[in-house]
Amino acid sequence: MFVTIEMGVEIPVYPERIYRAWLDSFEHSQFTQKSARIEARVGGAFWALDGGVQGTFNCMVPHNYIAQNWQIRDEPLSADSSIEIRIEPTCTGSLFRVWHHGVRADSTRAMMHWWETNYLRPLQAYFEALVGEYIADLSDG
């Protein structure tokens, strides 16, 4: 049986900044610390994590939505595994949310850990390092 898992992380930059980083081969490689080749267009190929992940883009809505077919090397996912990414603005940056469809029901915990270590934490740390310690004072206006 296959299920959908959902995860999310707060990131201290605007949605368009995260969107651009996900779609750019160089910057994707920077935040994952592994090589990536990305053709950022519907139907374009996606190859990341030194070839550990590959797929194609199904839908792209600038700055807030990406849908991809998704295969992970050595992971028993369903043949129609896919992900959806939504990037929503918040008061302090963005909420980056991922839905991964086609995950084996008995491997949800392992797959959530995979996402945390390969994407969510690295993406958050990458942008936190770029932004630094500064948090805008929201009470001054």
Q: Mean of the per-residue pLDDT values for the chain?
A: 92
Q: Give the distance from CA 53 to its chain's centroid.
A: 12
Q: What's the average model confidence in pLDDT over 17-45?
A: 98
pLDDT of residue 45: 98
Q: What's the average model confidence in pLDDT over 114-121?
A: 97
pLDDT of residue 80: 77
- Tokens matching residue 7: 């995860």
Residue 139 lies in a domain: no
Report which DSSP code applies to 122.
H
Q: Look at residues 108, 132, 112, 110 and name the one whose alpha carbon lies nearest to residue 121.
A: 112
Domain extent, residue 10, equals 2-131
pLDDT above 80 for 98? yes
pLDDT of residue 133: 57
What is the count of structural domains for the chain? Answer: 1
- Domain containing residue 6: CATH number: 3.30.530.20
Which run of H or E residues covers position 76?
A: none
**First CA to last CA across the chain, in angstroms?**
52
Residue 137 lies in a domain: no
Residue 10 lies in a domain: yes
- Torsions phi, psi for 108 (to 5 deg): -65, -45
Q: Which one-letter amino acid corresponds to residue 46? A: F
pTM: predicted TM-score of the whole model, two decimal places:
0.89
